[in-house]
Amino acid sequence: MDLLIVLDFDGVLFNSAYEAYQVCEQVVKEDSELRRGVHFDEFMDFRARLTDAWQFNRLYSKQDHLKDFNLLPEIEPKAGDWAFVDQFFAARKVLMANADWEKLMSPYPFFYQIKGLINKYPGMFRILSTRNEHSIKRTLDFYSVPNIEIFGQESLRDKGSKLNVAASQGWLNGNHYTVYIDDMNAHLEPFQGNVDLCLHAGWGYDASGYESYTENQAFNMINGLVALASRKK
């Protein structure tokens, strides 16, 4: 059985909150119907509960502004939310025209720990993220991780969820020993019982608990699994 390590991007490999904040602020500049003056602290309180880019509209919308962030997982997207997503990714494209765009994101120590394994065994790793694929690819190229397969926002909108993407790729069919790592509990929960091992990244945006893993713990777990898997080949 082959080993497969599926990694979230934002909150697991990179602290990209400031980049997302800058993207949202760019959207606000171009749309007078959105809230202005959202400070980074408020943005970060919201980001800790966010699971998809469309939800940023509930922070910036004047009409549908969500005051109780704890209700975020319960709401369903409206047409205006998807319109915001289109604005969001268009604004990111504008910001990415800057040659220094990648510097808006900070790699976690976990990224540097696992980078060597990904480059040595790229077939064992996948990225599964709500971020758009081009921005992930460009960031990983910048940090010299060029060969990992990426499934981002485009795949999620096509299939409907991270779990559906995983199923469509055959990651859940028992042919792999599949490990999924995410910092958002709302994303981890659907994978419980559908993959062999779920790891909550306690260093990311969501609240950590006694079942969360530190960066060292997660790396040691993955390093051990990769070592075992590579010996069998």
Tens digit of each residue's pLDDT (9 = 90 or more) over 194-229: 999 999 999 999 988 889 999 999 999 999 999 999
Whether the pLDDT of residue 30 is over 70: the answer is: yes
The pLDDT, as a whole number, for residue 174 is 85
- DSSP conformation letters of the chain: -EEEEEE-SBTTTEE-HHHHHHHHHHHHHH-TTB-----HHHHHHHHTT--SGGGGHHHHBSSS--S-GGGGGG----HHHHHHHHHHHHHHHHHTTSTTGGGGSEE-HHHHHHHHHHHH-GGGEEEE-SS-HHHHHHHHHHTT----EEE-HHHHHHHSSHHHHHHHTTTTSSSEEEEEEES-HHHHGGGTTTSSEEEEETTSSSPP-TTEE-HHHHHHHHHHHHHHHHHT-
Tens digit of each residue's pLDDT (9 = 90 or more) over 125-149: 999 999 999 999 999 999 999 999 9
Could you tell me the pLDDT band of residue 74, with boundaries at 50, 70 and 90?
Answer: confident
What pTM value is reported for the model?
0.93
